[in-house]
Structure 1
Amino acid sequence: MGTGHYFWAIFYFASLCSASLANNAKINFREKEKKVLDQILGAGKYDARIRPSGINGTENAPTLVYVNMFLRSISKIDDYKMEYSVQLTFREQWTDERLKFDDIQGRLKYLTLTEANRVWMPDLFFSNEKEGHFHNIIMPNVYIRIFPNGSVLYSIRISLTLACPMNLKLYPLDRQICSLRMASYGWTTNDLVFLWKEGDPVQVVKNLHLPRFTLEKFLTDYCNSKTNTGEYSCLKVDLLFKREFSYYLIQIYIPCCMLVIVSWVSFWLDQGAVPARVSLGVTTLLTMATQTSGINASLPPVSYTKAIDVWTGVCLTFVFGALLEFALVNYASRSGLNKANIHKENMKKKRRDLEQASLDAASDLLDTDSNATFAMKPLVRHPGDPMALEKLRQCEVHMQPPKRPNCCKTWLSKFPTRSKRIDVISRITFPLVFALFNLVYWSTYLFREEEDETF
C-alpha cells in the first residue's frame, strides 16, 4: 500500500471523527436547552400565576407590555351589521426577570415554547370583538420566545370580527373609521400597562385589496378606561376606510339618471297616445321604486337621511312628476275639446240666426212701398258723428309707440292647444330642474365630505 492510500485513509478517519464530534455537540447543545428550560420553569421554581415585577425589578411598579401587530388581511366591511373582519399576527413583549438564563457565550439566542400556560401571560382582550378564533392548521400558530435577559415575546395569528359603528349620512360618498381596541381585563394600571412598541407598531400587508373600500391610513392611540373597579390600560388602532364610489356610480347613479330621462320621452309622444304614455310612466315609476327598495335592503334602518336617500327620492319624484304631467295634459286636452265643441255649437247657432234674420229682412223689403223716399245723408259730418269719433280713435292708436313683443308668448302662440303648450314647457323645465338638482347635490355632498374628514 502506497503513501497516497495512507493519506486518504487518515483523511477519511478524521472526517468521521469531526462529524461525530459535531453531532455530539448538537446533542449536547439541545441537552443544554432542555436543562435551561428545566432550570427556569421547573416545578417549584416558577409560578405562572404571579405577574413579573416592574422596571429594574421594582415590585410596586406595573409590568410594562409592549404591543405590535401585522395586519394580514381585511376580508369584509359589512354596512348592514356595522362590522368588519380582520386577520392579524398579534405580538406582545415584556420582561420577566425570573426567566433569565445563561446564553452559553452567545450560542443560545433564545428558547422557544408552544405552551402559553407555562409562563405568565397578560390578560389582554379585544373590547369591540364580536367573534374570533385561533388558527390550528397544521399546528397551532403560536409561539413564545424567552431571551437570556428575561424578555418574553408572544406571537399568535388570530381572526377577528370587530364592531365598527358607522355614520352613513354621506353614504356612498363617505369615509368610515373602524377601531381595533385592546385592553386589560383584570389588571389595573397599577399592575399592568400596555404600550405601543416604538418604531412602526402596526404593519399592513402590501397590496391590501378590499372590494368596496380603500384603506387610506391608520393611527395608533391610547384609550384607557375608568370604571368603579379602577382604571384599565387600553390601546387602539383607528383604520380610515374610504368607500370606492365607482361601484355605486355604475350600479345606482347612472341607472337612476337613465330612468328619469326615459320618463321624459312621454313629453314627446302625441297627447292622444294614451296607452303608450301611461305604460311608459307607470313602468319607469315601478322600476325606480324597485331600485330604491333594493338599495335600502342592503343598508341598516337608520333614523337620519342618507345622501343616497336624497338622490333616489328626488329621482322618484321626477318620474312621478312626469306621470302627473300626462294626467294634466290629458285633462287640458279634454277641457279644450269641450270648449271647442261648445264654441262650434255657438257658431252654428249664430249662423242660423243670421240666416233667419237675412230672410226676414228680405221679406220686409218685398212688403215695402215702391214709392218710399230715402233720407239724404249730410255731406259734412257733425263733431258728434260716430264715424268721425271712430276715425279719430284709430288715429290715436296709430300714434302710440308699438309694444315690445313677448318672446315666450310669441313662441307659445305657435302651439294652438293648452295641452300642447304644457308638453312643450315640460320638455324644457324638467331637464333644467334636474340639472340644477345635480349641481346642488354634487357640490353639497362632495364639499361636505372634505369638511367632515377629521382623522
Structure 2
Amino acid sequence: MTRALITLWLGLLLLCNYGLAEEEKHRNKQQQFLSKLLEHYDVNDWPNANKSDATEVYVQMFLNSFGSLNAANMDYSIDVFLRQSWLDHRLNFAKANGANRSRITINDPVVQGRIWKPDTFFNNVKDAEIHRVTMNNVLLRLNATGHVLYSMRVTLKLSCNMEFKYYPFDRQDCDVSISSYANTDDVIKYHWVDDTPIDLPDELEIAQFDLLNFDTRETTQHFVTGDFSGLVVQFVLRRQNGYHVLQTYIPTILIVAISWVSFWLDPNAVPGRVSLGVTTLLTLTTLASGIRQSLPPVSYVKAIDVWVGMCMIMVFGALLEFTFVNWLANKKIVNPGNTFRVPRILAGSDAEQLACAEDPAAKPPTTYMMYARALDRLCRVLFPGGFLLFNLIYWPYYLIQQYSDPDPLPVEQ
C-alpha cells in the first residue's frame, strides 16, 4: 500500500514538472520570437519614418461612465477605454519563421516600452489616472500584418467652459480634445474610426443631466512649435430640472407663501409680524447663500438669481408693508374731514365703523386703523397675484429657452 502511494505521488510530481517545463518552454519561445522581431527595431522612429510619411492613428473611445458636471470648478469626469490602432510594417510577422499565431498580446511593460506608440495626450485634462487593479489596465496587441492595437482604461477630469445664464435651465457643451504632444502632423495624423468612434453603454446615466447628442471632428492645432493633428468630441448635455425644483424652487415658494401670513395678523401684532418677516427673510438669504456656493462667481445674472431676487422682493415687501400698516394703525387722525373713503370691498368687518365715519352725528375714528386693515386685505390679493404673474412669465420663458432647440439627433449606441 505504501509503495503504491509513493508511486502515485512520484507520478503526479513528474506530471506537474512536465507541465511547468512545457509552459516555460512556450514562454521562452515567445520571448525569443519577440526578441528576434524587435532585434533591429528602433523605438525612436515612427513606423513610416523611412518613407517620410505620417503614421495614421485611428482612435476609438468607449465611455464606461460619465460623471456629473461640477459647476463650481467647471469640470467633469469620465471613465473611458481609449483605443488606438496603427500600422507598423516593422512588426509584420506573417511570414516569420516560428510564427504560428495570428496575433500576440504583450503584457510585459518592458517589452511594451520597446515598441513605438503615439504620444497622445488630452488638451483639456486637469487630472488623469490609469487603472492598475488588479494589474495595469493596458492592452498592446500585435497582429501578424503589423497592425497594432493599444488600449488603456483611464479616468479623466476635464475642464469644460460652462455658461450659466439660464442655470438651472441650461445646456452645456463639453469637449474631449486629444492630440500629439511632441510629434507634428507630418509624423502623426489622428483619425476617428469610421465605425462607432464613440461607443456608449446601453444605459448611460449622468447625474442631473441628459446626454442629447455628441459630435466628433478632426482638427489641426497651430502652435509656435508646429502644427499638430488632433481629435475633438463634443457632448451636448441638458440639465434635468427635478433636483432644483425639489431643493430650491418649492422651498422658496413655501417661504414666500409663509410671509403672506402676516397679512392676516392684526396690524398691532408687532412681535408676531416682525418675527415672521425677519425669519422668512433670513431663511431665504441662507438658502440663496447655499445656492451660490455651488456655482462659480460669474458676473452675469442667472435664471436662479432672477428667481431668488424676486422671492426676496416679495418677502421684504411684506415686511415693509407691515411697517407702513403699523404706522397707519397708530397714527391719529388730526382732520377727519380730509380722510378718503375706503371702498366697501376692502372694509370687511370694519363696514360698521365705515358707516359711522360717514354719519356726521357719529363719533369719528381716532386712528387710521381701518385704513391699515384695508391695506392688509388689499395685499392679501396683490402679493399672491403678483407672484403668480411672475411665475406665469418666468417658467415659460426659461423652459422655452431650454427646449427651443431642434430635436437632438439619436445618440449612437
Interval containing the TM-score (normalised by the shorter chain): 0.7 to 0.9
1:298-313 equivalences in 2 (<5 Å): 298-313=294-309
Superposition deviation, residue 61 in structure 1: 2.2
Query: Is 1:135 paired with 2:131?
Result: yes
The structure with the greater share of residues assigned to helix is 1
Superposition deviation, residue 174 in structure 1: 1.1
Deviations along 1:340-396, one digit per CA (max 9) or x if unpaired, are 7x669xxxxxxxxxxxxxxxxxxxxxxxxxxxxxxxxxxxxxxxxxxxxxxxxxxxx
CA contact (8 A) 2:277 2:318 kept: yes
SS at match of 2:161: coil
Deviations along 1:173-207, one digit per CA (max 9) or x if unpaired, are 11211111101112111221000011101112232
Matched residue, 2:277: 281
Deviations along 1:18-63, one digit per CA (max 9) or x if unpaired, are xxx9999988766653443122112xx1001000118xxx813211
Matched residue, 2:92: 100
Task: Compute the TM-score of the two structures, normalised by the length of structure 1.
Answer: 0.75
Matched residue, 2:374: 421
SS at match of 1:165: coil
Superposition deviation, residue 439 in structure 1: 0.7
Query: Is 1:119 paired with 2:99?
Result: no
Unaligned runs of 5+ in 2: 1-17, 355-369, 409-413
State the one-letter code of the partner of 1:51. Answer: W
Matched residue, 1:392: none
Matched residue, 2:396: 443
- Partners of 2:384 and 2:227 lie apart in 1 by 61
CA contact (8 A) 1:90 1:157 kept: yes
- Partners of 2:20 and 2:321 lie apart in 1 by 96
1:51-450 equivalences in 2 (<5 Å): 51-53=46-48, 59-102=51-94, 107-114=100-107, 115=109, 116-335=112-331, 338-339=332-333, 409-412=343-346, 415=350, 416=354, 417-450=370-403
SS at match of 1:339: coil
State the one-letter code of the partner of 2:103. Answer: Y
Deviations along 1:278-303, one digit per CA (max 9) or x if unpaired, are 11111111111111111111111001
CA contact (8 A) 1:33 1:111 kept: no
CA contact (8 A) 2:58 2:191 kept: yes
- Partners of 1:30 and 1:109 lie apart in 2 by 17
Task: Compute the TM-score of the two structures, normalised by the length of structure 2.
Answer: 0.82
**CA RMSD, 1 decimal:** 2.6
Matched residue, 1:370: none
State the one-letter code of the partner of 1:47. Answer: D
Larger radius of gyration: 1
Superposition deviation, residue 85 in structure 1: 1.3
Superposition deviation, residue 133 in structure 1: 1.5
C-alpha change, 1:266 and 1:46, in structure 2 (3 Å) is same
Question: How many equivalent residue pairs?
Answer: 365
CA contact (8 A) 1:36 1:101 kept: no
Matched residue, 1:48: 43
CA contact (8 A) 2:184 2:228 kept: yes
- Partners of 1:129 and 1:33 lie apart in 2 by 38
Deviations along 1:158-180, one digit per CA (max 9) or x if unpaired, are 11111111101111111211111
Unaligned runs of 5+ in 1: 1-20, 345-407
